[in-house]
């Protein structure tokens, strides 16, 4: 156990002195992830009902999921809405973040705060508001309506990621480019954009995930043939509990973690 006697950091503490901290940190991390991962073994159960731990193992609920037209349709809707949300929220968020970052106007801070309120306001309020507003203009149960509402949630995330990328970027580069003969637009596309592209990809993936994982707004404003995966899962849980939900959850965990790991990986490449 030589390792215990080695210094843990620049301080005088050794790993031995820090052992209690490692223990506490591990417990906390496990408490954070175990509730999520408990569905994985449950999804491989033979049983008709959700059970943990499963007595017999099988992949039958995955077959149910992949063979059900209802579930497949919902999956397609979810992916569709996610991609469209990403396509709406990413350019809007990038443009807003850039404009507010570059602007020296004293209202810029206030506008930024205003635009990120959807992150602070309880989502249920946005959902109720959207439901009644959409009722007037006929956007309930439409892909468009869902995409717009999800873009409201995703845009602040894009703005925060892009703003932090711009903070690490020397805007004088754009000024130099302009003094050298580039228009402002060209300077942005040729000089700034290539240097924040990894942050843009990261924010786009986050925008997709925001929509893909979202359930509250989907419950209110999506339905019929345009119901999302999350909405179907929620209604299924209410009506009858079968392990298909666990199988779908497992797939969603897989998608989400893969995308999040991708953003981490991309982020680390952008020094």
Partner 1 sequence: MSSHPDSESSGASTALPIHIQGLTKKYGQMFALDSVDLEVKSGEFLTLLGPSGSGKTTLLMAIAGFNRPDAGSIRFGETEVILTPPHQRNVGMVFQSYALFPHMSVAENIAFPLKLRGIAAAETAQRVEAALTTVQLDGLGDRDIEQLSGGQRQRVALARAFVFRPRILLMDEPLSALDKKLREQMQIELKHLHEQLGVTTVYVTHDQREALTMSDRIVVINHGKLTQIDTPHNIYNHPANAFVADFIGESTMLPLEHDGSGKLFFQDHLVETDFKTDAARNWSLVIRPERLFMADKKAVDSEKAIVFSGVVRDFVFQGETAFALMSINDKYDLAFRFGTDSSSSQNILQAGDQVSLGLNRSDVIIIPQGDDS
Decide whether 104 or 122 has the Cβ nearer to partner 1.
104
Q: Quick check: 33 binds partner 1 (CB under 8 A)?
A: no
Measured over all CA atoms, what is the biggest interatomic distance in the chain, rounded to whole angstroms?
A: 72
Phi and psi at residue 57, to the nearest 5°: -100, 145
Decide whether 187 or 204 has the Cβ nearer to partner 1.
187
Q: Which of 35, 53, 122, 181 binds partner 1 (CB under 8 A)?
A: 181
Q: Quick check: 195 binds partner 1 (CB under 8 A)?
A: yes
Phi and psi at residue 154, to the nearest 5°: -85, -30
Token readout for 134 is 């959409």
Q: Least Å distance between CB 104 and partner 1?
A: 9
Q: Least Å distance between CB 110 and partner 1?
A: 17
Q: Quick check: 270 binds partner 1 (CB under 8 A)?
A: no
Element (H, E) at 203: helix 197-213
Q: Least Å distance between CB 172 and partner 1?
A: 4
Q: Quick check: 182 binds partner 1 (CB under 8 A)?
A: yes
What is the spatial distance between Cα 209 and Cα 220, in angstroms, rounded to a whole number?
19
Tell me the three state secondary structure of residue 134.
helix
- Give the range of 52-60, 189-197, 224-232, 240-248 binding partner 1 by CB under 8 A: 189-197
DSSP 8-state secondary structure symbol assigned to residue 180: T
C-beta atoms surrounding 222 within 10 Å = 28
Q: Which of 194, 238, 239, 268 binds partner 1 (CB under 8 A)?
A: 194
- Burial letters for 74-111: b for 16+ Cβ neighbours within 10 Å, e otherwise? bbebbbbbbbbbbebbbebbbebbbebbeeeeeeeeee
Find the binding residues for partner 1 in span 71-110 (CB under 8 A).
Answer: none
x/- binding map, residues 160-179, to partner 1, per CB under 8 A? ----------x-xx-xxxxx
Decide whether 15 or 178 has the Cβ nearer to partner 1.
178
Positions touching partner 1 (CB under 8 A) are 170, 172-173, 175-184, 186-187, 191, 194-195
């Amino acid at each position: 156990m030589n390792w215990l006697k080695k210094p843990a950091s620049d301080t005088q503490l050794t790993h031995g002195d820090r052992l209690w901290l490692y223990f506490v940190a591990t417990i906390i991390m496990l408490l954070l992830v175990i509730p999520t991962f408990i569905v994985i073994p449950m999804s491989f159960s033979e049983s008709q009902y959700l059970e943990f731990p499963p007595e017999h193992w099988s992949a039958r609920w995955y077959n149910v999921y992949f063979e059900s037209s209802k579930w497949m349709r919902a999956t397609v809707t979810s992916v569709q809405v996610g991609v469209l949300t990403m396509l709406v929220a990413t350019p809007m968020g990038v443009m807003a973040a850039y404009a507010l970052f570059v602007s020296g106007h004293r209202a810029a801070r206030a506008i930024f705060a205003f635009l990120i309120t959807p992150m602070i306001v309880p989502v249920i309020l946005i959902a109720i508001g959207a439901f009644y507003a959409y009722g007037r203009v006929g956007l309930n149960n439409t892909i468009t309506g869902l995409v717009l509402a999800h873009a409201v949630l995703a845009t602040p995330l894009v703005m925060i990621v892009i703003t932090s990328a711009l903070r690490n970027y020397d805007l004088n580069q754009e000024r130099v480019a302009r003094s050298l003969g580039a228009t402002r637009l060209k300077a942005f596309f040729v000089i700034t954009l290539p240097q924040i592209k990894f942050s843009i990809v990261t924010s786009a993936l986050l925008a997709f995930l925001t929509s893909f994982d979202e359930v509250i707004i989907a419950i209110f404003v999506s339905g019929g043939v345009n119901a999302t995966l999350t909405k179907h899962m929620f209604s299924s849980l209410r009506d009858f509990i079968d392990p298909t939900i666990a199988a779908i959850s497992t797939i969603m965990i897989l998608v989400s973690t893969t995308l999040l790991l991708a953003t981490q990986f991309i982020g680390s490449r952008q020094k």
